[in-house]
Structure 1
Amino acid sequence: MDALGLKDRKHFRMAYLQPALDAGLLGMTIPDKPNSRLQKYRITEQGQTLLAQRVS
């Protein structure tokens, strides 16, 4: 969110985060507790492949 310069959490979650999770580009570090305050996200192998293709 900070990297994109966005301030509205709801818009960020619905427009960016959820679509990336649904597409399998991001994964949760604590998938059984999606609302945990300790929740973080990691890029999946599929996401890394997509990034590598865009950089090349």
Structure 2
Amino acid sequence: MSRDELQTALGLKDRKSFRELYLKPALGEGLVEMTLPDKPNSRNQKYRLTEKGQLAVYN
């Protein structure tokens, strides 16, 4: 999902606080990963759950 899709799915409106409070910590914990890790600022950047993230969500 894109950042915008994730933010909408979670019902959050502020882009900066979403990135700082949710996205960066999830990336740091290895719960989500970038689909284009070499281009973190790409407009085509998407995120997906890692195996660790799937376990956290579905268990």
TM-score (norm 2): 0.85
1:31 & 1:16 partners in 2: Cα distance? 18
Larger proportion of helix? 2
Which of 1 and 2 has higher RCO (CA within 8 Å, sep 6+)?
Answer: 2
- Structure 2 residue ranges without an equivalent (≥5): 1-6
2:18 & 2:45 partners in 1: Cα distance? 16
Partner of 2:16: 10
2:52 & 2:35 partners in 1: Cα distance? 16
- Structure 1 residue ranges without an equivalent (≥5): none
| Paired AA for residue 21 in structure 1 | L
Identity rate, percent: 64
Partner of 1:45: 51
